A and B are shown apart, each in its own frame.
Chain A
């Protein structure tokens, strides 16, 4: 878009004239508690951190909270925040030639040195293009020069960076806390001696974990599968290994406290990273390995500090599997004491389905409590549970449900997925059967106050997981399964939510896409696609047209069984987990072989050899992989 205003004071003046014309103007002004405003003129490195969706969704994002605090602690750098304007505000900004700006000082985005974008999920991709356009920054990396900010992206979706490769200058694979400093140092040194953007990108090649797509060129077989990812310079690493921290640093304790309501109003403390359960559908479980814990003392002191700095009334203790935190009982005991004393609500998501979880939550109730209890069995038959490697017996689920109703909760939320590999209609109907049994327990114990909500999402095969070779269900299959489930639930009084099959498809295309998909994303954006993650905004027809324009078949990406020797577009990006391990796990799933908690027995996923140096450098009980001698298995 054409920018006609570049001065922060003019942007401020425009805002005052226009904010009352839009919904929720509080999204666009900044000025919240704990915002950091640094002197624009005297700070050499200016970073804008972007969440490519609206303010309310972006502010609670933990990755950006960490990076904001980390960067602003450096005397030579400043970080400001940017979110996407909602459609009403966007229209006014485009009309007035007003560029996207940093909330802290209202400087236009294109006056920053670096723009860091977080991509936790794929349905944000068209928003990234819109964000760049609203900033007056050329969309394609090769159209940008020294006068434009360096565009960096990270986050879980970037473990397959290829669909967004042409738009991003550099991807950061893995955890960003350390690597951000290396990037800023490299930027500072480059700025001191060169103006060539090419020099900067070459310098960034030296940082482990940084992927610069322009130094790689994909070649395809006639059937459309990848033949080879060619390196265009010797300096480009053949494989980019994700970065991890050898020890988790203290969590951020001075987060922005938004003055308007956002999706999560709370202090978020990660109690650990990684997961040892090995659910085969789970992207996060594969890419965030290995497990590293924070100590109870560290967590408690962070909570105290953050309460003092924010005044929040809710604390969320986050991890992929809270029950597996080694000191969970001790932690809950200590935290619950504070909860009662200070009227806090403590949330502890991702608990395992066992009565111990109910006892833990019972202690955390304090004076206030949520009325519902959430469990995620994911599948309803033993066969299906063995396929996905999440073995929970129905008896155990019912026992847990009984404990929940007996301890005063009246509502249970159950999360299931349909579309698992090899799933039959009987597996789907079993979801209804199990759900009816759960509700029956509640009715028996507390009568008609008992209620059950089902969240039924559709499985999408993700890169770097054991199911990366598998096709995704077609919309017809998904609809049939959803209908079967609805029929089986009729008259049960159970409420159910599910995902629109077409939205599932979008996620499926983008998850396992190659670099050619960038053209589809670009076409979709030019056709007006944006806010694809919003049900009311997602427009399937635009995406279909975008595929046609690019001469690509969407089914190639979603409904194709990939052969075991196929080269994937993300094979040169390594989460530390070996492809051979993923393949073994895929084959195990077909035979229903379970792989239980890998803290007890190592299944050689590849993490140990990849990070053995790091572990030696930061030894301690916070690592939860077993201590075993590393053989030549890597």
Chain B
């Protein structure tokens, strides 16, 4: 009998530079090591059934990511059992937060998500006043023309909010932002950083929340 589980987890440093495609494989092997039998698709080359919500871009950390997995055990598994087996199995870069069972026919994860929240920490010291004024200016711009993979687009409508973060380490500054995360309309935090006029690579980006998903 096929069961579907929704797993909330943190993606931490060891998997930071792993793409969502590769992360898929990491999950497959993780579940296999945990003794959780994956359900396979039918067809000539059966594939294990896993679905990541809105794949996390390479280089980001994720504080609360979501994946759905389909399992096919001989006897029914409880969400507690799945969680316990995962937590007892080492997997660098994945910390399990919660596991819940959901209906096998529930809608796909990605379709349920509308926006994502991020923390962006600058790796280099910068002036807080300067940062504040650039943020205000950016938010007041009606249209922010950017180009990504050769395609021009307007970043401004993808930004829901930006606020400034300070840290206990003196001089360390960051931004909290909520950006659209819909099919075909996804804001990227490093684009915001670049639009602010800072080095988009000298940042640590943490996706803290996906909004809109049930549970």
Query: Interface on A for B, CB 8 Å cutoff?
Result: 13, 16-21, 25-26, 28-29, 31-33, 35, 257, 259-261, 265, 307-313, 343, 367-368
Whether A31 touches B93, Cβ cut-off 8 Å, given contacts A20-B59, A21-B201, is yes
The distance from the CB of A267 to the nearest CB of chain B, in whole angstroms, is 11
Give A368 to B40 CA distance when docked, in angstroms.
Answer: 11
Closest chain-B Cβ to A266's Cβ sits at a distance in Å of 11
Given contacts A19-B17, A29-B17, contact A311 B28 (CB under 8 A): yes
Contact among B29, B38, B40, B93 with A310 in the assembled complex (CB-CB below 8 Å):
B29
Q: Give the residues in chain B near A257, CB-CB below 8 Å.
A: 29
Flag whether B90 is at the interface (Cβ < 8 A): yes
CB distance from A232 to the nearest CB of B (A): 49
Q: Is A33 touching B92 in the complex (CB atoms < 8 A)?
A: yes
B201 contact from A20, A307, A308, A367, Cβ within 8 A: A20
- Cα distance A20–B17 when bound, in Å? 9
With A17-B202, A26-B22, A261-B22: A311-B29 Cβ-Cβ less than 8 Å: yes
Does A343 lie within 8 Å of B40, measured CB to CB?
yes
Distance of B121 from chain A, by nearest CB (Å): 10
Query: Do B58 and A25 have beta carbons less than 8 Å apart?
Result: yes
- For residue A368, which residues in chain B have a CB less than 8 angstroms away from its CB? 45-46
CB-CB nearest in chain A for B58: A25
Q: How many A-B residue pairs have CB under 8 A?
A: 80
Q: Please give the distance in Å from A208's CB to the nearest CB on chain B.
A: 40
- B15 CB, min distance to chain A CBs, angstroms: 6
Cβ–Cβ < 8 Å partners of B49 in chain A: none
Task: Please determine whether B123 and A259 come into contact, CB atoms closer than 8 angstroms.
Answer: no
User: Is the CB of B33 closer than 8 A to any CB of chain A?
Assistant: yes
Q: Shortest Cβ distance from B58 into chain A, in angstroms?
A: 7
Minimal Cβ-Cβ distance residue in A for B45: A368
Cα–Cα, bound, A308→B46 (Å): 21
Assembled-state Cα–Cα distance A18/B31 (Å): 32
Chain B residues with CB under 8 Å of A32's CB are 14, 92
Bound Cα distance from A233 to B21, whole angstroms: 57
Q: Which of A20, A26, A312 contacts B29 (CB 8 A)?
A: A312
Complex Cα–Cα for A265 and B31 (A) = 17
Q: Which B residues lie within 8 Å of A367 (CB)?
A: 40, 46
Residues of B within 8 A of A20 (CB): 58-59, 190, 200-201
Given A16-B123, A265-B25, check contact A310 B33 (CB 8 Å): yes
Residue of B nearest to A13 (CB): B123
The answer to whether A33 and B59 touch (CB under 8 A), given A257-B29, A311-B28, A368-B46, is: no
Q: Is the CB of A311 within 8 A of B17?
A: no
Residue in B14, B31, B46 whose beta carbon sits within 8 Å of that of A259 in the complex: B14
Q: Provide the bound-state CA to CA distance between A530 and B87, in Å.
A: 44
Q: Is the CB of A18 within 8 A of B22?
A: no
Report chain A residues within 8 Å CB of B38. 343
With A311-B28, A312-B29 already in contact, the answer to whether A25 and B201 are too (CB < 8 A) is no
> How far is B33's CA from A129's CA once the two chains are assembled, in angstroms?
40
Contact A33–B201 (Cβ < 8 Å):
no
What are 14 A-to-B residue pairs whose CB atoms are below 8 Å?
A: A19-B59, A20-B59, A25-B17, A26-B18, A32-B92, A33-B91, A33-B92, A260-B19, A311-B28, A311-B29, A311-B30, A311-B32, A313-B32, A367-B46
The distance from the CB of A385 to the nearest CB of chain B, in whole angstroms, is 37
Contact A29 B16 (CB under 8 A): yes
B176 within 8 A of A: no
In angstroms, Cα B127 to Cα A484, docked, is 70
In the complex, whether B8 has a CB less than 8 A from a CB of chain A is no
